[in-house]
Structure 1
Amino acid sequence: MGTSSNHPPVGIIGGTGLTTLSGLELTGERPVNTPWGEPSSSLVEGLLGDQPVVFLSRHGNPHRIPPHQVNYRANLHALYEMGVRTVVGVNAVGGIHADMGPAHIVIPDQIIDYTWGRASTFFEGDLEETTHIDFTFPYSSEARALLIDAARAEGLPFSDFGVYGATQGPRLETAAEVLRLERDGCDLVGMTGMPEAALAAELKMNYVCLALVVNRAAGKSDHIITMEEIEAAIGQGMSGVRRILEISMGGLGALTARSS
């Protein structure tokens, strides 16, 4: 039995391929309701090493909620209510950059939002004042450094940079859309990076993305994208994602709340 640290719990939002977290010593599971409705799944409490964590499955468990229908506000608010102040968003993505092929891990540093129609802010409705958060750097530099150090320590194939292009989904992109993303400077494409990162910032939570490339983006390979290819990349790369999480947990738990 692990011994809990005095740090607040770290939130882990698992995406495709990470609906549960092996190595997590379970201490409880609870359904949570929020002012924004119910989150995607029950919150699973546990210990990873001696660091308390709260795990949430972004698409539900089993995987059933498409990216554009995820209740991102409820998910982030539920984690906040549980005392979480640092969140790791695990994302399955398509690789645009030449170095970012299947099973490659990426810790991106920037994001471009191409989504539309999603409930994307807590600051709406009957407000006393309008709030504009600074979002110059969407990912916590301190949290990124911890993930990068863990990936290096494990000798994993990874990139310590990347612009994440967040698209609407649930369909995959056309080859022309991927070319546009590339012209815009995107290295990765995914469907769940936003508004998750911005909502975390509104709650003054540290947020970091740990992305696993599961396929070459449309038009970046000589074949169409198949679920078999995606599943194979998840099987190959997810163990590295788990190792990064395990190694970095203590440091992530020690981070203070986002200052801006």
Structure 2
Amino acid sequence: MSAIGVIGGTGVYDPSIFENIHEESLTTPYGDIDYVQGTYKGKTVIFVARHGRGHSIPPHKINYRANIWGLKKLGVTFIISTTAVGSLNESFKPGHFVLTDQFLDFTKNRITTFYEGGDRPVAHLDVTNPYCPELRSAIESAAKELELPIHNGGTYVCTEGPRFETPAEIKMFHMLGGDTVGMTNVPEVNLANEAEIAYATISMITNYAAGISTTALTHGEVVEMMGQMAEQLKSLILKTIEAVDVDAKYVAHSRMSEYGGFKL
């Protein structure tokens, strides 16, 4: 039976929202991962804390390949990812949710693919629609039912971190069409697509980005807003899980068919 994966970012680690939970670990070719497995409405849910227990792993050192490979091994066919972001778009206000549909990659030192030659062929991933439209639609419908402020569509600028961005960088990102800025969505989205998992990101806007905000940015500010949005986010995740048809087959599930499909 297919499972639904939830990747929690800053302030989201709360697997207790699921039932029958138990903690496990899994060894992958890329390293070990810890995860929590549970159920909700009869569906299997696998939760991975992106930054590890106690938020101990900075964004540029997250083992993205181990996380995605592990979720694939555990039978996950849908991933609901959560991220905390700054806004470059004045219509996207702190406290709002955004369903990203495009990204700009400004990371520098991350391995972005499973396909490095050798045991896997050289492959070129199509990212015309990197965030599963069908899954985004299900999340949007859930948010509207819960009367949450949500935007379906927006370009996520991914930076290397762990520092925040300069006002000059934010100005550039805005000119290039960026709507939100964060540090974790790339290469996670690419790896999920290579693994033929339907992937969508719920971004929580915690602040306006540097140069747009009238004050200096702090991690505490992010955590405080996350705390205010946490209950809404949990409700949104649960409502989405309830709506997802785990047997559905989307384009995302055969993304690498040209190369014989993704094999563990």
Question: SS at the partner of 1:89?
Answer: strand
TM-score (norm 2): 0.91
**What is the deviation of 1:125?**
4.2
Give me the CA root mean square deviation. Answer: 1.4
Alignment match of 2:83 (pick from 91, 101, 110): 91
Amino acid of the residue matched to residue 173 of structure 2?
A: L
Structure 1 residue 166 and structure 2 residue 158: aligned? Answer: yes
Retained in 1: the 8 A contact 2:15–2:21?
no
Task: Report which of the two has the higher share of strand.
Answer: 2
SS in 2 for 1:73: helix
Residue deviations 1:91-118, cap 9 Å, x none?
0111111022222111111111111111
The answer to whether the 8 A contact 2:10-2:223 is kept is no
Question: TM-score, normalised on structure 1?
Answer: 0.93
Check conservation: 2:15, 2:36, Cα contact below 8 A: no
| SS across alignment from 1:75 | helix
**Which among 6, 12, 34 is matched to residue 28 of structure 2?**
34
Match of 2:19 in 1: 25
2:40 maps to what in 1?
Answer: 48
Corresponding pairs, count: 252
Compare 19-28 and 192-201 and name the one that shifted more: 19-28
Which residue number corresponds to residue 258 of structure 1? 253
Q: How far apart, in 2, do the equivalents of 1:10 and 1:80 lie?
A: 10
> Which blocks of at least 5 consecutive residues in structure 1 are unaligned?
1-6
Matched, 1:74 2:66: yes
1:143 aligns with 2:138: no
Which of 212, 218, 231 is the aligned partner of 1:220? 212
Shift in Å, 1:251: 3.2
Report the counterpart of residue 4 of structure 1 in structure 2: none
User: In 2, are the aligned partners of 1:173 and 1:218 still within 8 Å (CA)?
Assistant: yes
Q: Which runs of 4+ in 1 moved over 3 A?
A: none
1:159 shift after superposition = 1.1
Paired residues of 1:116 and 1:168 also in contact (CA < 8 A): yes
Q: How far is the alpha carbon of 1:232 from its aligned partner?
A: 2.2
CA distance in 2, matches of 1:235, 1:214: 10
Percent identity over paired residues: 36
SS of match in other structure, 1:233: helix
Structure 2 residue runs without a partner (length 5+): 256-264
Deviations 1:102-161, CA, capped at 9 Å, x for gaps: 221111111111111111110014146311121111100110000000010011111111
